Structure 1
Amino acid sequence: MKTILTNKHIYIKTRKRALQCYIEPVLMYGCEAWTISKQIQNKLEAIEMWFLRRMLRIPWTAKKTNERVLNEANKRRSLVRTIRKRQATFLGHVMRRGKLEHLVTTGKFEGKEVEEDKGRR
């Protein structure tokens, strides 16, 4: 995909679409189950900027800010936002399903309380 994404004869809009259709799904595989810490979020944002810089052929030695690169690409950061949206969608699916995943997520089990458990509360 490098030859397609870095080809100056292909419109930037087409290259961004190729990135969105072919590379981002591979990158985000299984993201619904990820726990995103600040460190992982920074790495995801860095890889998103790395893709854009490669597409625009901006070397890492060029002193261009990320905002400037985003303006040149006419794009906003969207990778982390997309992952969060997919996680929320998956959580909604789990909560509506009402099976084992729902029980594990909520921690609510139906049944009788054991007498010795009542005394501890």
Structure 2
Amino acid sequence: MLLCFAVDKCAVSPTGDRLYIISRYQHKLLTLARDGTHLATYTDPALEYPHGLHVTPAGQVLVCGRVTTVLQVGWEGQSKLATLATLERDGVWLPWSVYYSSTTSSIIVGQCLDDNILVFRVEQCVHVCISCSN
């Protein structure tokens, strides 16, 4: 049986092979394959009433718990990679939407009961791979 509140937001991976769905009243992030096959379910106490969802051009999954948190979840949809913003550290309260701007390298968070839009500058990380041959 499909509930009318089962799907609140959805986003597609840049390659189109994964669909991410947040279910606000079930407090979870679902990851489905293109054909609808269930791949993963992610739950976390910080994901209470998730509302905002965004997949960056690089495939990073950003989701905000409606109360006080913005998270980065792995592309597979199974694990938290980072807590990007919180009430205590960053003043996030009732985050309603999240978006990553590759133009400004910023995460933009809209809040439900606040006229302020929070902008967090993202530092770029460069990973250098060195292969050695003996």
TM band (smaller chain): under 0.3
Look at both structures and tell me which one has the larger radius of gyration over its CA atoms.
Answer: 1
Q: Which one has the bigger strand percentage?
A: 2
Greater RCO between the two (CA within 8 Å, min separation 6)? 1
Q: Which one has the bigger helix percentage?
A: 1
Calculate the TM-score normalised by the size of structure 1: 0.22
